[in-house]
Amino acid sequence: MDSINGFEAEAHGTVGRKVKLKLLSRIAYVDLVHEVAEALARDARFPKPEALNIGLAVREAFINAIKHGNRMDAAKRVEVEFQETADRFLVRIRDEGPGFDWNQTIDPLNAENIFRTSGRGIFFMKHFVDRVDFRRRRGRGTEVLLEKRIEPSAGRAGGGSQAMKRRRG
C-alpha cells in the first residue's frame, strides 16, 4: 500500500480484480477519482462514451461522500473500490460520516426544481449506471454501490484488466 498526502492505493487479486483508493475528503481529489474510474472502465472494454458516464457517476458519488457523507470533514476518508467481474463493473464508495437520508432527494425534473442550483448528483448517478444502491454501515458511515453491466458484445478479450494486471502485487 502506497500512501502520499492522504492518498492511498492498492490493487490485488486474480479473481474479481480489485483496485482500491483511500483518500481524505478533499474536492481536489475529485478529478483523480474520476480519471481512475474512467481509465478502469476503458480497461474493462467499455466504449469511451460509456466510460465517461461511469467516470461521471463515480465523480458524483465521491462528491456526495465528501459533502453529505463526511460533511466536508477533511480528516475523514473516502474509500473507492473498483471491481471487475465477468459481467459487471462495480464501484463501492464508502464514507466515514454519521449517515444521511439518501431518499430525501428532490426530483430535478419537476418544474418547481428546474431552477435549483444543486440536488442533481444522485439523479446523475442513476442515469449513468445500471444500479445505484445506498447502504448504511453500522457505525462506519455509508456505502454507495454503482453497478454497470458489461455487455458481451463489448469485444472483451477475455484476459480482463490490463491495468489491474500491471498493478498486481
Partner 1 sequence: MKATARHHGKVTVVDVSGKITIGDGDIKLREAVNGLLDEGRKSILLNMSGVSYMDSAGIGELVACYKRATEKGATLKLLNPTGKVQDLLVLTKLQEIFEIFRDEREALTSF
Phi, psi of 119, rounded to the nearest 5 degrees: 95, 20
> Among 21, 44, 56, 146, which residue interacts with partner 1 (rule: CB under 8 A)?
56
From 1-9, 58-66, 137-145, 154-162, span contacting partner 1 (CB under 8 A): 58-66
Radius of gyration from C-alpha coordinates of the chain? 16
Minimum CB distance to partner 1 smaller for 36 or for 63: 63
Alpha helices (H) along 44-152: 48-64, 121-128
Shortest CA distance to 133 belongs to which of 121, 122, 141, 124? 122
Tell me, residue by residue from 85 to 124, as one string, x for binding to partner 1 by CB under 8 A and - for no binding: -----------------------xx----xxxxx-xx-xx
Smallest separation, CB 16 to partner 1 (Å) = 29
- Helix, strand, coil: what percent of the chain each, to 5? 35, 30, 35
Footprint of partner 1 (CB under 8 A):
27-28, 30-31, 49, 52, 56, 59-60, 63, 108-109, 114-118, 120-121, 123-124, 127
